[in-house]
Amino acid sequence: MNYDVIVIGGGHAGIEAALASARMGVKTLMITILAEQIGASSCNPAIGGLAKGHLVREIDALGGEMGLCTDKTGIQFRTLNASKGPAVRGSRAQIDMDQYRIYMRTVVLNTDNLDVKQEIADGLIIEEGEVKGVTTQLGNRYTAAKVIITAGTFLNGLIHIGEKKQTAGRQGEFASVELAEYLRSLGLNIGRLKTGTCARIDAKSVDTSVMEVQPGDTPPPPFSFRTDKKTFNPKQLPCYVTYTNETTHEIIESNFYRAPMFSGQIEGIGPRYCPSIEDKINRFRDRPRHQIFVEPQTMDETEYYINGMSTSLPIDVQLEMIRSVAGMENAKIVRYGYAIEYDYVQPTDLKHTLETKKIKGLYTAGQINGTTGYEEAAAQGLMAGINAALSVQGKEPFVLRRDEAYIGVLIDDLVTKGTKEPYRMFTSRAEYRLLLREDNADMRLSHHAKALGLLDDVYMAKFEAKKAALEEALDFLRVNHATPTKEFLAKLDSIGAVKINDRTCWMDVIGRGEFDRAKLITLLPEFDKYDDEVMEQILVEAKYSRYIEKQQQQILHMDDMLKIKIPEAFAYKNISGLSNEIVEKLSTATPPTLFAASQISGVTPAALEIIHVHIRLAQKSKRG
């Protein structure tokens, strides 16, 4: 059977990869172990969070499905860091895990140009270093010009619960053993990572009345730019907060010897920023308690997810430690927590398109590239799907820069630096945070989606209208000025705004204080015509205009810098501040320009800046 693109896996990465490819008019096949598990959330029942929310907004702005699905199936919506600046705020939603999976499966099965096969891929068809298709355990051979592997934790997946081990990609599901061994045989740089999940508790056995209530925001903030905010009013359920205590810690500590991660049973490296409860107790023994979020998994509230208690301890210890927590004294475990080890491909083996360097036409996306999180996986899947389709169509690849999107930061970090632990996105990883906000993801990226055929004309008409309104407002604020007349100063005083002493650009007037819609309209009544979405953008752009301008100048500086030629026989070893690894790579590759150097795996923006400074010093020395 002939296809253009084959996607192996039906998780968050596989869904976005397959949908993007098919929607771009390319004949696509998804091969997945269980069709009913397309879109399953293996771990927590939530989408988004700090930095992760940025990724979801960017996926949405590029025509992906994750944001839309979250809005349709969400059961609580919040903005994290709401009291802080817009660059570090993060949208997060609890989802109904059952409905999320059903929604995604329905979309996949109803998408044109996309077929689904419930099989286990066990190998690839490769000819002269180029992928030609996929083989399965049922003996089927599917040919394709491009293959995207989004295997998640299924490659050689091994589950640990105490001393017990079982081969599985997720509890109760087959692992992909043959494909994992096949990838090793290709000479790809394969490593081993570990992640885990917590127990799920029968909701009837939990007393939430003694816990802190954590409600959703009112009004609820949707994820998708395509969701109508005016009509968006989903039913929201509360989450709850409780805490571990000294008894909990003693139970865990007294069973360290039975913990797979301490006994040597687990070899893979786990996520540093999402540790298991036993790791927390081991590393932070001086803390009297740790926060636990009790989160409903579905709208029916039949099970609670115990966020903050990820564990691979034996089942008797899991029950004892959970019952030591306030509100869970009578808890009944429906599903036990576990750790899972799995194979991953070192992402330095990849190009920025997520195509492997060794096998032409073979792409990888998601946890197979060493990341952790639904959002990081979906972002990679989208980009792999887009690039595979573009390659089939004979078009130029689509690569986002670090100054364009968090997706660009994510992929650049992976393919240039690699990872030895599960990679998680943080706002601190992005150099240009003020430019890469959640609220302006559509302004930054939707024009790309239109060109790729991933957003329809109806949405694009609304987007263009919003963009035109925003540009009109910002142009007015940049060009026009306010004068400190007695009448104007009285208006400023009435709204508690900072006074001006001279003729001042409107952008600076608004940027000086804490402005909201009402205050701005008091000064500029004509701005009342702009809706809340446009007004939000106006206020942010005005408040941070000087900082945004500075970051834009830094980007221009970087663009100019990358054009600079590197002298022949340039002595990298004489430059302090460069790692031995970077020196060795640059000395071997001898790149002709800083741009060529930037394309070498492991060469960071900081290293490029150091080299640039030394090139300038050498030039000055020659002139002197």
Q: Which residues contact 221 (CB under 8 A, 6 or more apart)?
A: 77, 78, 79, 91
| Percent of the chain with pLDDT strictly greater than 70 | 99
Residue 604 has pLDDT above 90, yes or no: no
Residue that has been written with the tokens 């340039």 in this structure: 570
pLDDT at 153: 95
Which top CATH class is 563-623? mainly alpha
pLDDT at 328: 98
The pLDDT tens digits for 275-302 are 899 999 998 888 999 999 999 999 999 9
Q: How far is CA 210 from CA 200, 297, 302, in A?
A: 19, 20, 19
| Nearest C-alpha neighbor of 169 from the set 149, 152, 191, 148 | 152
Structure tokens at 268: 């893979």
Strands 121-127 and 74-80: unpaired
Coil, strand or helix: which one is 7? strand
Please give the Cα distance from 86 to 361 (Å, whole number).
39
| Nearest C-alpha neighbor of 216 from the set 72, 70, 76, 48 | 76
| Residue 307 pLDDT level (bands cut at 50, 70, 90) | very high
Residue 600 has pLDDT above 80, yes or no: no
Exposed/middle/buried for 399, CB within 10 Å: 0-12, 13-18, 19+? middle
78-82, 446-450, 490-494, 573-577: least confident range? 573-577
The pLDDT tens digits for 175-217 are 999 999 999 999 999 999 999 999 999 999 999 999 999 999 9
Please tell me the CATH code under which domain 457-546 is placed. Answer: 1.10.10.1800
| Residue 166 pLDDT level (bands cut at 50, 70, 90) | very high
pLDDT at 580: 86
Structure tokens at 95: 């989802």
| Percent of the chain with pLDDT strictly greater than 90 | 78
pLDDT at 271: 78
Please give the Cα distance from 554 to 430 (Å, whole number).
13
Instruction: Give 565's strand partners.
Output: 593
Instruction: Give 212's strand partners.
Output: 241
Structure tokens at 150: 């989004």
What value does the mean pLDDT of the chain take? 93
Please give the Cα distance from 196 to 190 (Å, whole number).
20
Question: Positive or negative, the Cα torsion across 65, 67, 68, 71?
Answer: positive
Please give the Cα distance from 368 to 344 (Å, whole number).
4
Residue 428 has pLDDT above 90, yes or no: no
61-65, 384-388, 529-533: least confident range? 529-533
Q: Do 141 and 125 contact (CB within 8 A), yes or no?
A: yes
Residue 272 has pLDDT above 80, yes or no: no
Please give the Cα distance from 555 to 109 (Å, whole number).
42
Mean pLDDT of 96-120: 98
Half-sphere exposure of 24 (CA within 13 A, CB side): 32
| Residue 608 pLDDT level (bands cut at 50, 70, 90) | confident
pLDDT at 624: 59
pLDDT at 480: 96
Coil, strand or helix: which one is 462? helix
Residue 243 has pLDDT above 70, yes or no: yes
Q: Do 241 and 214 contact (CB within 8 A), yes or no?
A: yes
pLDDT at 37: 97
pLDDT at 75: 98
Coil, strand or helix: which one is 147? strand
pLDDT at 43: 92
The pLDDT tens digits for 325-345 are 999 999 999 999 999 999 999
Does domain 200-340 fall under CATH 2.40.30.260? My reply is: yes
Strands (E), 329-413: 333-335, 338-345, 362-364
168-172, 303-307, 480-484, 619-623: least confident range? 619-623
pLDDT at 299: 97
- For the chain, the structural domain boundaries read 200-340, 457-546, 563-623
Q: What is the DSSP code string of 593-616?
A: BHHHHHTSTT--HHHHHHHHHHHH
Residue 94 has pLDDT above 70, yes or no: yes
